[in-house]
Every structure is written in structure tokens, then in C-alpha cells.
A and B are shown apart, each in its own frame.
Chain A
């Protein structure tokens, strides 16, 4: 992995590790149902044991997302969310918490704004970096240079299908942590987490990744605890989005608190 002195994500994961915990990453889409609620819900996550906040940019063609997140992002767009508001969301969260705040985005909105302008504004808002589900390192030359310039994390995904060569090149290109996709599929809560996740994390660690976090299908404290036995962090998305949809900010706070009970490494 690249130099980590600047990485806010790495620092957040290492703080959790030092406290004997698995880092907990919580996802919400920006603007669902509105920008202020996103900020309030993210702050509530941070106050209830979430170490890293992942804020998604609603996008017209989210090919890696399942129904719950699709419906949330469609509503955000219908409610008038515009991409430049992502910086208000990030700033609103970083002003009120110490959690690292990453933006999850499909690549076209970044390309449309201009990669450099996007990075400049994200850094100014206090953001940690980007998670890019449809940008592989092979196509990321501009983002590699710009993220270096602004000290932003670049979180690429690795999957059960990644070859050893691709695992190596992706780990090498990553800064912050590697996003280990637990299953061949899309986002969505599942009753159990695939055993493939453990193999993906092991392969990432063998390739030199110091931090690998597991996402896709994680929805309960039991999942968090199970994954914490081998991974450095766990990523929860759909379950939190469903909680926000059904019960608002208090439900997000309650679920985050419950999920965080699974983070203690001592219990694993």
C-alpha cells in the first residue's frame, strides 16, 4: 500500500485496532431523504460506535447496488440532490465528529466535475478520500495522481474473482484500506456472510494490505463479530439505509450501537 502518513481512513482503523476493536464502517447515501438528515444520521452513527462514515453519491445507474440502496438514491435524486452538495454533507459531518468521512461514488459524476476539482473540494471539506465501485486501478491514472496531490485515500475493491495478479496490483494502488467484496453480487442485507470473504481478506493481507474491510451482505452484530476474527474492518450499508428509511435518525443510532457490540476483538 502507498504511504499512509496522510491517510485519515488508516488512522481511524488503527485507532479502533489500538482499542481492541474491529473498525466499523457505516454507509448512507447523501440526500436521502435530504441533506440535513444525512448529516444528522452520520453524526449519530459516529456517536454510536462507527469509526468511518461512507457517504454515497446518488447516481442514475448504480450497477453495484441492490434494491434498498437504489430506492434510496432514486428518492434522493427526486428530492433534488445535486453532486456539489456532497461537499456540504462531508463538511457538515467532519465539523461535528472525528470519524473519517469517505465518499462512495460511481465514476462518471467525478469525471463530469473534473477529477482535480472534485478532489480539491473534497479535501477542503475535510473528506478522507473516495471508494470507487466502478473504477479499477487500470483506469485510474488521473485519480492516482490527483489523490496523491491532495492526500486523499483511494479505496479500490477486490473480489472473490480477483486473480492473484489483480489482487496485488489493486492492493498496491490502494491507500487507506482495501474494500473486500464478500460475495459475487451486489449490495443488500443477507442472512449470512459468505465464507469467500475470509479468503479474499487473506489474499489481500498476503498481497501486503495492512487493512482490509469486508462489505456486501453485512447487517448484524453477529456478522460484525464473525468477520472481525479475520478482517480489519466491516462495512454495513443496506441495513443502515433500511433503518433510516423505516425509523429515521433514532433507528440509525440504535442499529449502529447494536452493530458496535460486535466489534470487540476480545469476544471473537
Chain B
């Protein structure tokens, strides 16, 4: 929400509870204020009902909870660390900055939390096949991983252009036993991969679970995907209290569909003194039209099953998003974020490609950590928030920011090498990079 736009307070459900001083945690859907719901073909409603029922039962089943906890511990490597970034923090106005290290999870990002949970639900429903969409390949790789672990067939839909640019991630998914289907429909991007996954799901719903990768889509997906990521915020809250003896002044996360952000926000939703910041992909800049700043500049609409903010033209046609980060390159956003924006509980701001890449390099050089370019948006935001906090009264060194470092940047080395012009002109890598290929 920019300063010039008036928030439109929702007047129902959790908004009233929040305004009356109640809890925002554990919102069950289908609606988050005016957002969410099920804007879906009737053919899929029975499957959504089955999923909702299975999820509701699983949440109160000690066996299921034990399975999730055990996989998180012994397979993903949870709890993930909370690392203080002292040298990086010098550039954030001198406040203390802590990184929630989701990059250290198995498969290298927060995505594993959700795919393991959903794959377990697929098994409980007796489904033998999972399908997933992917942009750059992170969620596809995570889905293929969970499917391999649990013995499920896996099909991943991926834009044909993304398949070409991310050939190594396609190979990773294939190594893990998944079939990757290049999507040539529409704009051949992530949103079209979701469209094709939905078409597959309609036709194969008896055997197949759609393993959606973000906290968006039709109910129960937004509440369910958040549930599996809530562990991020629960751990972070405990860890920051243990490390500093207090709650942070701010929590920062990047937002594409918004799953890592809602996961860490959830732990702090009812701590009103903790400011929550979501950083969207500003691409070339929000005044250029080439961005993915959905909440900042989008308008409410329905896409992929939920009402939320949406990048669309005056005809209601979805417009193409742009970001250097494939993981943030989505024209929609999860409905709970739209709600949190409207009621003012969380703030959403754009970060340009250039700002994100500066923060990317800064973290590499000050902390020895290569972040995902997605997560670099949260880092760039944290630099701004830190400088703002430092300008306020009080001792900057006693102020605390937690940043969700949602993923590691190994997958982004080629993009970064090209951005920073690190490749010798006559190298084979430079030639590949010049064609927009991943190394």
C-alpha cells in the first residue's frame, strides 16, 4: 500500500476481531476480510472439499502432527538457525539484524515445509499422483523431492521459456523422478503453468492432488499453505526472544504469492508492537510497468481461485509481471496479505531489481551467505527499515529486525554473474548468459 492510496478496511471476519483487539492468528478462511473464497469451476469444488476435510482432520491427528514434525527435524533439518548479521547490519543504520535461515533447509528454501505437508495429505487422501506448477523451478524441485520421498508420481508444469532458461532445474526434477511438461499456452509464464496444472487437475482429480506452491488459490490452499509454513514464525519468535530477550521491532520478508512471508508473519501477528513488512518485486521500477508489485499497484480481482490484489488491465485481463527474481514474478498475491494490507497490520513496499541485487552482493560480502534473489528483496527492504528505525528516537543498537532469508542463492549465480558482469567476455559461460540461459 503506497502512501497515496487509502486503505480500504474490510468490515467482516477477522478484521472485526482485530479491530476489537482479538487474534489474527490461525485464520481459517475461506475469507480473509473481502479476500479469498473459491472462484473455481464446479468440477473442482468436490476436490477442494475433500482436501479441506482431510486437512482439518489431519490438524487434530497426533499421528499426522508427529509425522510432520519428524520430517521437519530429520529430513528438512529444522529448526532452521537464526543468525545475527553483524557486518550487514552496519549498512542498516546500525540496528541489529537477524536472519531466519530457511536457506539451510533441505532443497535450499522454505518451500520444503509446504510440499512435505501437502504430500502427506495427498497420501492420506489415497492419491497416487501430485502435480505442481513452477516458475524458476524451486517449487518444482521441492515437489519432486517430496514425491520421491513418499513414493508419489509427480508431474510439474513449467513455462516453455522457463524450461529453456532453467535447464539445470529441469534436469534436477527429472533426476528426482518427476516429469516436466513445458507450457506453451498463453504467455508461457508461471500463471500459465498454474492454468495448465488446473486443467490437468480437473481431468485427473480422482488420482491426483494439486500441490500448489504458494499461499494463494482457492480455499483451503491459502490457510493450508500458511499452516505448513507457520513453523518459520514460531521458531523465529522463540529464537529472537532467546537471543535478545525481546520481540523485534520489525519482521521483513519478500512477497511473490507470499508463502514465506505469511509463514514468518504468523508468529508475530498478535504482537502489535512488531511491524511487519512485505517487499514486492519492483522490477525495473513501479512507474515503468515492468514489475510484480501486486499489492502496491494492483487492484482487487479474481485469479486462480481467490479474490485478492491482482495485476490487471481495465478489461480485467491479467497483465504480465516482471522481476529479475522468477520466484516473485507472479501477477497475483495471497488473499491473507491483501487483507493484512487493507487493515494496516502489514506494510507492503516495492524493491527494484537494482536494489535487490545491491543487497544480494552486500550479504555475500559482509556475511559469506549467498541469498536467493527473492530473499534479497527482503534484505534490501531491511536496509531501508533499519535506516528508518535508526532515525527514530532511541539507541539504534538496541533495535532489532528479523529478516526471513527464504532461500539460498546457488540457483541465482548465473543471473548474478551476468548482472555484475563477472564473466570474461570470451568465456563459454558469458555466451550462455548472453542468451538468457542459466549455467
Contacts and interface: CB of A to CB of B under 8 A. Distances in A.
A162 interface: yes
A166 interface: yes
B186 interface: yes
A63 B199 contact: yes
A60 to B, nearest CB: 4
B121 interface: no
Interface string B180-201: 0000011100011001001100
Given A157-B41, A161-B47, A108 B202 contact: no
Chain B interface, >50% SS class: mixed
Given A61-B303, A157-B42, A162-B42, A82 B316 contact: no
A208 interface: no
A2 B338 CA distance: 35
B312 A184 contact: no
B316 A83 contact: yes
Interface string B288-306: 0000000000010111100
Contact of A136 (B45, B195, B299, B303): B45
B132 to A, nearest CB: 16
Interface stretch (B32-40, B68-76, B253-261, B382-390): B32-40
Contacts of A84: 315
Given A63-B41, A82-B315, A83-B315, A107 B302 contact: yes
Contacts of A162: 42, 45-46
A77 B42 contact: no
A108 B310 contact: yes
B167 to A, nearest CB: 25
B314 A136 contact: no
Interface string A98-141: 00000000011111110000000000000000000111101100
A163 interface: yes
Given A161-B205, A184-B203, A186-B203, A134 B315 contact: no
User: Do most interface residues of chain A lie in helix, strand or loop, or is the interface mixed?
Assistant: loop
A112 B47 contact: no
Given A61-B195, A139-B37, A166 B45 contact: yes
Contacts of A59: 316-317
Contact of B202 (A62, A64, A82, A113): A64
Contacts of A70: 185-186
B39 A135 contact: yes
A185 B316 contact: no
Contacts of B314: 112
Nearest to A85: B315
Contacts of A83: 315-316
A241 interface: no
B304 A64 contact: no
B43 interface: yes
B38 A139 contact: yes
Contacts of A186: 199, 202-203
Given A63-B195, A108-B316, A112-B316, A170 B42 contact: yes
A239 interface: no
Contacts of B202: 63-64, 184-186
A70 B317 CA distance: 14
B128 interface: no
A63 B46 contact: no
A232 to B, nearest CB: 19
A82 to B, nearest CB: 6
16 contacts: A59-B316, A61-B192, A62-B195, A63-B202, A64-B199, A134-B39, A135-B39, A136-B42, A157-B43, A159-B42, A161-B42, A161-B205, A166-B42, A166-B45, A184-B202, A185-B202
Interface of A: 59-64, 66-67, 70, 74, 77, 82-84, 107-113, 133-136, 138-139, 156-163, 166, 170, 181, 184-186
Nearest 4 CB-CB pairs, A to B?
Answer: A112-B316, A109-B316, A161-B46, A159-B43
